[in-house]
Amino acid sequence: MPTGGPARAPVLHRVRDWLSAFVFTVPALTLFGLLVLVPMGYAGYISFFNWGGFGSLTDAVGFDNYTRLFKDPVFLGDLWRGGLLIGLSVVLQLPFALAVAVLLNQKLRGRAVYRMLFFAPYILSEVITGVLFGMIFAPGDGLADKVLDAVGLGGLGGDWFAGRDTVLPTLFLVMTWKYFGFHMMLYLAGLQGIPAVLHEAARIDGAGSWQRFRHITLPLLAPTLRISVFLSVIYAIQLFDMVWVTTAGGPDHASETMAVSMVQYGFKRFQMGYASAISVVMFLISLVFALAYQRFVLRRDTEGAVTTMRANR
């Protein structure tokens, strides 16, 4: 007569696995709740008050901070500038990183050195990068103006970070210098994962370099490209350190971002309720973008990964 012992063993294994997972995840979930969820909830709560950062929360204003937010020309300008930086990153910075990655994926003499040199700026902190380029683009006596004067192109020099019309292009130039190496390394990793036999077969069939790139490299590199775009957009939404060090949002809000506005209102003007409303909107923009991107863009990649994992079992 069966005792039920063998049938009970899988159940005991599953219970033990669940208990192990619970024990190992509780500390991480506790830290995540205390350091992320609680501050987020408190910021959302503060956003419904007119509070200067000191004393108790007594002056409840409801949704007035959010109403003010979307009537504030500075914040609307922050949204426009953030969208512009995202567009420039996707249209200029990422294709440039892809072109360099394709070049360095070839058999070139010293390509390891080039990879190291192009990736090195990413290692620098944003504060160091901001200070460095603040000196390089100092109007008049900065290195950039001196080099242009030395080669007879002094007329191309300008206000750089000090001019309303030049500050955003200059800032984007610095962002590209710092971050294109990171995306280049992502693309290099994706390129090296493409089987060389596919290119060899296409070359034998008479396909040219552009045809091989368009019909083999790009489709197989698409998952890496999608991740790269996602990271670039999220970074542009949360851009703060570099702007704060180089321009602090000036001149006249011309380089201000949502994160810079949040700090300006919260710690300079002591309008913590309004600054918290900005932080909530930043979080919602990032969350909506991440969920939509996951749903409509990354869906095929994640479904393919799950299918592969199931097949390997």
Instruction: With respect to residue 224, please indicate whether it lies within any of the assigned structural domains.
Output: yes
Confidence of residue 305 (pLDDT cuts 50, 70, 90): very low
CATH number at residue 90: 1.10.3720.10
Average pLDDT for 25-45? 92
Residues 6 or more apart in contact with residue 178 via CB below 8 angstroms = 121, 122, 124, 126, 129, 242
**Residue 179: predicted pLDDT:** 94
Instruction: With respect to residue 181, please indicate whether it lies within any of the assigned structural domains.
Output: yes
Average pLDDT for 242-267? 92
Instruction: With respect to residue 44, please indicate whether it lies within any of the assigned structural domains.
Output: no
**Cβ atoms of 102 and 188 closer than 8 Å:** no
Instruction: With respect to residue 58, please indicate whether it lies within any of the assigned structural domains.
Output: no
Helix axes 218-237, 73-88, angle to 10 degrees: 160
CA distances (Å), origin 17, targets 13, 14, 147, 296: 6, 5, 64, 34
Domain count, the chain: 1
Which region among 15-19, 47-51, 150-154, 261-265 has the lowest average model confidence (pLDDT)?
A: 150-154
Instruction: With respect to residue 17, please indicate whether it lies within any of the assigned structural domains.
Output: no
Give the Cα separation of 242 and 175 in Å (integer). 8
For 278, the token pair is 């900005």
Cis peptide before 251 (omega within 30 of 0): yes
Q: What is the pTM of this model?
A: 0.84
Which region among 1-5, 55-59, 167-171, 213-217 has the lowest average model confidence (pLDDT)?
A: 1-5
Confidence of residue 309 (pLDDT cuts 50, 70, 90): very low
**Residue 6: predicted pLDDT:** 55
Residue 304 has pLDDT above 80, yes or no: no
Residue 142 has pLDDT above 80, yes or no: yes
Residue 286 has pLDDT above 50, yes or no: yes
Read off the pLDDT of residues 209-244 as tens digits, 9 standing for 90 and up: 889 889 899 999 999 999 999 999 999 999 999 999
Residues spanned by the domain of 113: 76-300
Instruction: With respect to residue 15, please indicate whether it lies within any of the assigned structural domains.
Output: no
**Residue 3: predicted pLDDT:** 52
Instruction: With respect to residue 164, please indicate whether it lies within any of the assigned structural domains.
Output: yes
Read off the pLDDT of residues 159-194 as tens digits, 9 standing for 90 and up: 889 888 899 999 999 999 999 999 999 999 999 998
**Residue 307: predicted pLDDT:** 45
